[in-house]
Amino acid sequence: MMTRPIRFGIIGAAGRGNSFVRALRANPATELRALCDVRAEQLAVSASELDVEHTFTEAEALIQSGTVDAIVVGTPMQFHAPQAILALEQNIHVLSEVTAAVSVEESRDLVRAARRSSATYMMAENYTYTKSNVLVCELARRGLFGETYYGEGGYIHELKQHNETTPWRRHWQTGVNGCTYPTHSLGPVLQWFNADRRRPDRVVAVCAIGSGHHYLDPRGDRYEMEDSVTMMCRLTSGGLVHIRVDMLSDRPHNMVHYALQGTDGAYESTDGNGAAAKIWLRARHATPTWEPLAALEEEFLPDFWKNPPQEAVNAGHGGGDYWEVQDFVQAILEQGEAPIGIDLAMDMTLPGLLSQQSLAAGSSWVAVPDPRNWT
Ligand SMILES: NC(=O)c1ccc[n+]([C@@H]2O[C@H](COP(=O)([O-])OP(=O)(O)OC[C@H]3O[C@@H](n4cnc5c(N)ncnc54)[C@H](O)[C@@H]3O)[C@@H](O)[C@H]2O)c1
């Protein structure tokens, strides 16, 4: 049991890392001790605004400084695994932004580091914490969909301009052909298939297909990623999950497209632009009939979302940015496994990495390794 607050540091503090501050400060078991960012000027502004004592312009320096027990990794994707590994080697707890890693090789190194470390690792897949996704997960956990056998997730978020202001995206997200940013879509759906802990499910093989290239970047170069990349995922149970990632097509955003089909129920999410999510459960209507998902909140919504604190209601990404931090802190305090520990982080990350191989091989099926076999 910890006797003093968990001392936190945030890496990438002048960017995405900053959005973790409020959730950390809402938890009395934590203390924000250090900030790190390569942009020294913005770092100094953040440190002054947030009144944080220690600042670093190199992640290694923060990790080795002895000032923190835990870090949030909010840096660009290619730094997640290397920075997480460095911290885990020092037995410093890690809450890492998505995706967990950018290559299979790096994923193996991260799994090894997490297994050797006494610290807690969690991937910050915030979309698994939104109210509607938590409710669907609870319904699946109670078996109300019957046997689930088909799911869908879509991350459709036009980011061409954002590619220019955060050039790492042009390289790691739209500069690679594959489902390069799949965890917001696959993460929640996988949890619904996994909801019955006696029948854990994971993606065993992927087949990816692209829609071709219809846009050029401001330099006139073709994006290496095809505009819409669809990844079919075969699960251990035989189930099928269809993931679409599109960060290039001109259209309104929809980052929260989901669907689920079971023998006793079906779900279709909101379109992200105001339409209500709808559900049919045989237990409530013998004849298939849609009803609003919200109608099930009173009876089935887990307590933590029933009376959420204001910090959760105000937090980004449908409250996900708040709840993921609380769960991570709880896991540290209990010295238990985090809800999205290293194996689940890999189950959500690896299919996208293998989708690159599938596309390169003409959309052939490619096996997805089970990280539980990596020692
Ligand atoms: N979960 C979500 O909903 C969500 C939302 C936005 C971004 N993200 C993820 O968060 C990460 C950061 O995204 P962003 O939009 O903030 O990008 P960004 O380019 O703004 O980078 C974040 C910050 O990291 C700093 N940085 C870059 N390299 C660094 C290094 N080596 N060491 C320390 N600091 C470094 C940058 O100066 C910047 O302030 C990405 O992996 C992205 O995918 C997740």
pLDDT of residue 2: 56
Give the nearest ligand 1 atom to 75 CA: 24
pLDDT of residue 157: 97
Cα 23 to Cα 80, 187, 193, 328, 333: the distances in Å are 20, 21, 28, 11, 16
Whichever domain contains 41, its CATH number is: 3.40.50.720
Q: Calculate how far, in angstroms, residue 300's C-alpha sits from the geometric centre of ligand 1.
A: 35
Tell me how far the alpha carbon of residue 270 is from its chain's centroid.
19
Query: Of the candidates 79, 96, 126, which is a domain's last residue?
Result: 126
Cα 291 to Cα 269, 287, 294, 318: the distances in Å are 12, 12, 8, 22
Q: Is the CB of 126 under 6 A from ligand 1?
A: yes
Q: Are residues 33 and 174 in the same domain?
A: no
Residue 372 lies in a domain: no
Look at residue 270 and tell me whether its pLDDT is greater than 90. no
Q: Is the CB of 59 under 6 A from ligand 1?
A: yes
Higher pLDDT, 19 or 214: 214
Q: Are residues 97 and 154 in the same domain?
A: no
pLDDT band at 299 (very low <50, low <70, confident <90, very high): very high
Look at residue 152 and tell me whether its pLDDT is greater than 90. yes
Q: Is the CB of 324 under 6 A from ligand 1?
A: no
Q: HEC states along the chain?
A: CCCCCEEEEEECCCCHHHHHHHHHHCCCCEEEEEEECCCHHHHHHHHHHHCCCEEECCHHHHHCCCCCCEEEECCCHHHHHHHHHHHHHCCCEEEECCCCCCCHHHHHHHHHHHHHCCCCEEECCHHHHCHHHHHHHHHHHCCCCCCEEEEEEEEECCCHHHHHHCHHHHHHCCCCCCCCCCHHHHHHHHHHHCCCCCCCCCEEEEEEEECCCCCECCCCCECCCCCCEEEEEEECCCCEEEEEEECCCCCCCEEEEEEEEECCEEEECCCCCCCCCEEEECCCCCCCCCEEHHHHHHHHCCHHHHCCCHHHHHCCCCCHHHHHHHHHHHHHHHCCCCCCCHHHHHHHHHHHHHHHHHHHCCCCCEECCCHHHCC
Whichever domain contains 207, its CATH number is: 3.30.360.10
Query: Of the candidates 97, 126, 155, which is a domain's last residue?
Result: 126
Number of folded domains in the chain?
2
Look at residue 198 and tell me whether its pLDDT is greater than 70. no
Q: Are residues 117 and 49 in the same domain?
A: yes
Q: Are residues 135 and 228 in the same domain?
A: yes
Nearest CA to ligand 1 atom 6: 16
Q: Are residues 120 and 133 in the same domain?
A: no
Query: Of the candidates 65, 93, 126, which is a domain's last residue?
Result: 126
Spatial contact of 281 and 268, defined as CB atoms under 8 Å apart: no
pLDDT of residue 247: 98
pLDDT digits (tens, 9 = 90+) for 11-20: 999 988 888 9
pLDDT of residue 317: 84
Q: Calculate how far, in angstroms, residue 289's C-alpha sits from the geometric centre of ligand 1.
A: 43
Q: Calculate how far, in angstroms, residue 152's C-alpha sits from the geometric centre of ligand 1.
A: 27
Q: Calculate how far, in angstroms, residue 239's C-alpha sits from the geometric centre of ligand 1.
A: 34
Q: Are residues 199 and 209 in the same domain?
A: yes
Q: Are residues 99 and 239 in the same domain?
A: no
Across 107-111, 180-184, 311-315, least confident range:
311-315
In this structure, which long-range contacts are made by residues 282-291, counting pairs with CB atoms below 8 Å and at least 24 apart in sequence? 282/146, 283/144
Select from 75, 123, 163 the residue to mutate for testing ligand 1; criterion: most ligand atoms less than 8 Å from CB: 75
Nearest CA to ligand 1 atom 25: 12
Q: Are residues 108 and 134 in the same domain?
A: no
Residue 55 lies in a domain: yes
pLDDT digits (tens, 9 = 90+) for 355-372: 999 999 999 999 999 999
Give the nearest ligand 1 atom to 57 CA: 33
Q: Are residues 212 and 294 in the same domain?
A: yes
Q: Calculate how far, in angstroms, residue 168's C-alpha sits from the geometric centre of ligand 1.
A: 9
Look at residue 200 and tell me whether its pLDDT is greater than 90. no
Residue 10 lies in a domain: yes
Look at residue 197 and tell me whether its pLDDT is greater than 70. no
Q: Is the pTM of this model over 0.95?
A: yes
Q: Is the CB of 39 under 6 A from ligand 1?
A: yes
Q: Are residues 142 and 86 in the same domain?
A: no
Across 49-53, 82-86, 183-187, 317-321, least confident range:
317-321
Residue 310 lies in a domain: no
Q: Are residues 159 and 184 in the same domain?
A: yes
Task: Kindly state the average pLDDT of the residues 88-107.
Answer: 98
Residue 317 lies in a domain: no
Q: Calculate how far, in angstroms, residue 62's C-alpha sits from the geometric centre of ligand 1.
A: 17
pLDDT digits (tens, 9 = 90+) for 41-69: 999 999 999 999 999 999 999 999 999 99
pLDDT of residue 40: 97
Q: Are residues 55 and 115 in the same domain?
A: yes
Residues of the chain with pLDDT > 70: what percent?
Answer: 98
Nearest CA to ligand 1 atom 30: 38
- Structural domain boundaries enclosing 294: 128-305+340-367
Look at residue 275 and tell me whether its pLDDT is greater than 60. yes
- Average per-residue pLDDT for the chain: 95
